[in-house]
Amino acid sequence: MFEPHAAAPGGAGRESAELGAVLFDMDGTLVESEQLWTLSLNDYATHRGGALSAATRELLVGSNMHRSMELLLTDLGLPAEAADVAVAAEWVERRTAELFRQGLSWRPGAHRLLHGVRARGIPTALVTSTFRSLTEIAMGTLGRDTFAVTVCGDEVGGRNKPDPEPYLQACRTLGVDPARCVALEDSPTGVAAAVSAGCTVIGVPCEVPLEPGEGRFLYDSLEALDADSLAELLAAPRPPSVPWGTGCKDRAS
């Protein structure tokens, strides 16, 4: 059971808070890497003589490597014991690294938003479920000096998203109350983690839809956001379960 921050995620008590930090997810939020994950997962499924189902692929978005391999092996009808998961994870990590090294592109609006926040002197953190080895490759695109703190999926003692620990760890390291932080996410798993941590959450869907809910604002793109709007969202009281902004991605699109 998670231990969310005492501050109400719906906005109560935030009116006088100043923006203390901006916490960014990586895959599907800052960089166009979800398609590369899909390719590596499909390659592994083919390697094992099967095929990755669309339903399982959707479940893997935002998940950590261990859980993803459990789900993938189960989907393929293969054993999913600890040793099997470890071997699968090594294969997928190696293949994904090959794809990452070919180059990563920014998500729309991500580069401008990230560097606009930094230009204002607001601390930033990268909070990702991706392993450190792959994150270091992505840093070639993101910039190694861009974030004051990085928290990777193999650095949280197994307490991966949707557990709030990755976000809480980033806040502890920054020395900032989660109630003064805005987190940007693209997946239901990541949104749940950031909301539970007590952050104000901005959801921008990439591969899977996001549903309206408490503690989150849904946008179609990061292009609509800047440092000022993040500060306004932190302070803005809003009713639970009501999205604010340009709205959710249309499921039919």
pLDDT for 208 equals 87
Greater confidence, 73 or 238? 73
Domain 21-32+104-235: CATH architecture, name and number where available:
3-Layer(aba) Sandwich (3.40)
Q: Check: CB of residue 29 under 8 Å from CB of residue 185.
A: yes
Res. 252: pLDDT tops 70: no
CATH superfamily to which 34-101 belongs: Putative phosphatase; domain 2 (1.10.150.240)
How would you list the strands of the sheet with 200-203, edge to edge? 149-151, 124-127, 21-24, 181-185, 200-203, 216-218
Res. 250: pLDDT tops 60: no
Q: Check: CB of residue 148 under 8 Å from CB of residue 127.
A: no
Region 110-131: mean pLDDT is: 97
Q: Give tens-digit pLDDT for 213-227.
A: 888 999 999 999 999
Task: Find residue 200's DSSP bridge partners.
Answer: 182
Q: How far apart are CA 25 and CA 223, in angstroms?
A: 16
Greater confidence, 50 or 16? 50
Q: Hey, where are the domains in the chain?
A: 21-32+104-235, 34-101
Instruction: Give the side-chain half-sphere CA count within 13 A for 65.
Output: 26
Greater confidence, 64 or 188? 188
pLDDT for 57 equals 85
Range of weakest confidence among 63-72, 128-137, 171-180: 63-72
> Which among 240, 227, 218, 7 is positioned nearest to 117, based on CA atoms?
227
Res. 1: pLDDT tops 80: no
pLDDT for 17 equals 67
